[in-house]
A and B are shown apart, each in its own frame.
Chain A
Amino acid sequence: MVMNRNYFRVLIVDLNREKSEVKRFEGRHEFVGGSGLCALLFERYGLKNEPWHNENQPLIFSIGPLTGLFPLMSKTICAFKSPYHDQYTESHAGGRSALSLFFANLDGLVIKGQARRPSLLVVGSRRVEIRDASYLWGLDVIKTGKIVRRLVGEASGHRSILRIGPSGENLCSFSCINCDTYRHFGRLGAGAVMGKKNLKAIAILGDERAFVSLGKNYKEIYGKIFKRIEDSGMMKKYHDLGTPANFKKLNELRSLPWRNLTSTWDKDVDRISGETFAERHLLRNLACSGCPIGCIHLGYIREKFMKDHRYYFEQVAYDYEPVFATGSMLGITDPVKVLKLILEIDEKGLDVISTGVALAWAAEAKEKGLISREETICDLKFGDAQGFLEAVGHLSNQETEFYRQLSRGTLAAARVYGGEDFACVLGQEMAGYATGELYFTAQALGFRHSHLDVGAYSYEQKHDERDVKRAVDFLIKDEPRRALLNSMVSCLFARGVYTNEYLAMCLESVGLKDIAINLDELSERIRFYRWKLRFDTGFSPEDIKIPRRFYKVESWKGKVNPKFLDELKISYGKRLKGLVSEGEKKWT
């Protein structure tokens, strides 16, 4: 039993039967782990032609061959059929889950079936329990976490607690799985998948040592990587302002979405910039297990609740994306109000990006008279945090038919109420980069509809020319290495540190030379496997529409060129189809 085994050790939990099984899967040298392993496991357990809410659809978590063995190899991949688009997808999170799975001696965890009552799943190296958690149903994410920590007791500091809030229980299409309070399997509705399974929480106990045969030079390579991280400057970048450093830069570039993307610049950016948060609202930093960076920025809310100086105090994790979604996108420039909105969304277990962007659309729809106050219950106006705070609760509870529609996604609601033109949706609610045609194309057609699928926004900042072939070539070439890093599983912040050369060194030092010598091909293969599942479960590039609002955007480069955007979309769609058909010939 060694951890750098050339197979995968996966725990399969069947909630229907309340039985579990440890299974061995071959294919380490083909699927590697993480993203690749998820594809292998979904191929085995996924019901491609059944809807996401079929109780037997699997919810999959996996880690990679370098997890726990090198710094920043600290992320977990979650894969499922998405409630948002009913196709295969992945969502990634940091926190303690990756090292907890590693020290529970598991490469993967597959949960299938539906518990007969709300349940808590506890998994450790010598423990699998499905416990009644009826009394947790309806509780928010923070309270649930506190109770589960007490219930589980063991492995403090070395365990991970995943849980959903009321929005997940209510099957909202963009509900998330909260991971260790401050991190999330955020996007595309993993929370609803847990909700459908009657699974309120999962505790993963990292309670075993790793059975690894370490190469003679392992310690030396670890030291080298550690030094490389220190020298790369990334410590400073993520220690310092963290991802919110983007605010001023993107605003200057006229690429920061404001008020439902009616503008890409605002004079008030300083009020919610990374500098302002760091100087006035940052309380402390936290790290994912096994990562020395500590990029998690915790802000604080100190609120007077009685006249005679009585206060309460809360801590809220903030990053660029949450502040964009609840700040600039909603026209809110008071950092404390932004933190309050993030906290409210967190507690309900909603994805913060989708929620912010959905509410921004709702505010504009209200302004244009497409929806009434009867439908929204509260006031939804740009800049008015109170209304949005109330709306988060209504959305989570699906209080009215309007909120029920909105909980299926912004475009779903727009199809009913009108306003599709100004729904800021690129496959899912947009991330905070209005850099232009290439980014819009990349998110709209991206594998996870994520700003991290490919580095389009960064390419766009370096290339002003409108060359369709060159730009699409870049998207196609940039993706496989990210698929590979997602299979190790590295935090993408470390993509500059872990070049293929360094990945190979790491793999060799833990006895995985066969993988190390074949990284280029493996990257392509894993990318293919993921896309194949996406296409097999219904993805069609032609069906993705880019709403008119994106065609009106003006960035530092000037106005979006509609022809260029359309050509990029058509070309990238064709290339994605092409790589799947080529892959089928080569690898199936």
Chain B
Amino acid sequence: MKFLRASNLKRCIGCNICSLTCAREVHGLISWQASGIRIKSSGGISTGFEATFCLVCKEPACLNACPTDALIPRKGGGVIFKRQSCIGCLECKEACPVDAVSVDDSGFPVICIHCGRCVSFCPHRCLELVEE
């Protein structure tokens, strides 16, 4: 299985093209929220940027918290989101330890599907899709 990794995030310039690409290409929207990846500056004493997206837990806390089987295990780690089963309770968002669950404007969770479409648009090759 392939997974999205921010292997070279030190190179990030904060253009946010990855977020906009995910929203546009995967979710058909222009949105910060409807994106499986979010970028913000590290702030504090560090410099540079942080990327927040699903880190493909082997035992996903979001999946355990989901009361309706809207999240099912993805082979190799992470989850697959079944919108038709989701009631929008957002327990998954609460449960995710790295805040990787975003919420779209209809109130449904948005989680990275590790498709790698953002990778080809990143101008500094910060992101990559790796086989694990």
**Residues of A bordering B, CB below 8 Å:** 3, 68-69, 71, 99, 103, 149, 156-158, 206-210, 212, 214, 218-219, 222, 226, 235, 284-294, 296, 315
B130 CB, min distance to chain A CBs, angstroms = 22
Across the interface, which residues of A come within 8 angstroms of B47, CB to CB? 284, 315
Pairs A–B under 8 Å by Cβ, sample size 24: A68-B30, A69-B30, A99-B16, A156-B40, A156-B41, A207-B32, A208-B105, A209-B30, A209-B32, A209-B104, A210-B31, A212-B30, A219-B24, A219-B25, A235-B123, A284-B13, A284-B47, A286-B14, A287-B14, A289-B16, A290-B15, A290-B16, A291-B15, A291-B17
Chain A-chain B contacts (Cβ-Cβ < 8 Å), number: 76
Across the interface, which residues of B come within 8 angstroms of A156, CB to CB? 40-41
B29 interface residue (CB < 8 Å to A): yes
User: CA A398 – CA B16 in complex, angstroms?
Assistant: 41
Instruction: Find the B residue at minimum CB distance from A155.
Output: B32
Q: 8 smallest A-B Cβ distances: which pairs?
A: A157-B40, A209-B31, A287-B15, A294-B13, A292-B123, A210-B30, A287-B13, A209-B105
User: Cβ of A103 and Cβ of B123 under 8 Å apart?
Assistant: no
B127 CB, min distance to chain A CBs, angstroms = 13
B126 CB, min distance to chain A CBs, angstroms = 11
B32 CB, min distance to chain A CBs, angstroms = 5
B57 interface residue (CB < 8 Å to A): no
Across the interface, A71 reaches (CB within 8 A) one of B17, B25, B30, B32, namely: B17
User: Cβ of B38 and Cβ of A157 under 8 Å apart?
Assistant: yes
B18 CB, min distance to chain A CBs, angstroms = 10
User: Cβ of B25 and Cβ of A292 under 8 Å apart?
Assistant: no
Across the interface, which residues of B come within 8 angstroms of A235, CB to CB? 123
- Chain B stretch 1-44: residues in CB contact (< 8 A) with chain A: 13-17, 20, 23-25, 28-34, 38-41, 43
User: Cβ of A290 and Cβ of B14 under 8 Å apart?
Assistant: no
Given A219-B25, A235-B123, A294-B124: A288 and B32 interface contact (C-beta under 8 Å) = no
Given A284-B48, A294-B124: A209 and B34 interface contact (C-beta under 8 Å) = yes
Given A156-B40, A226-B121: A290 and B17 interface contact (C-beta under 8 Å) = yes
User: Cβ of A209 and Cβ of B33 under 8 Å apart?
Assistant: yes
User: CA A514 – CA B20 in complex, angstroms?
Assistant: 26
User: CA A208 – CA B103 in complex, angstroms?
Assistant: 11
Across the interface, which residues of B come within 8 angstroms of A291, CB to CB? 15, 17
Instruction: Find the A residue at minimum CB distance from B105.
Output: A209
Across the interface, which residues of A come within 8 angstroms of B39, CB to CB? 157
Instruction: Find the A residue at minimum CB distance from B38.
Output: A157
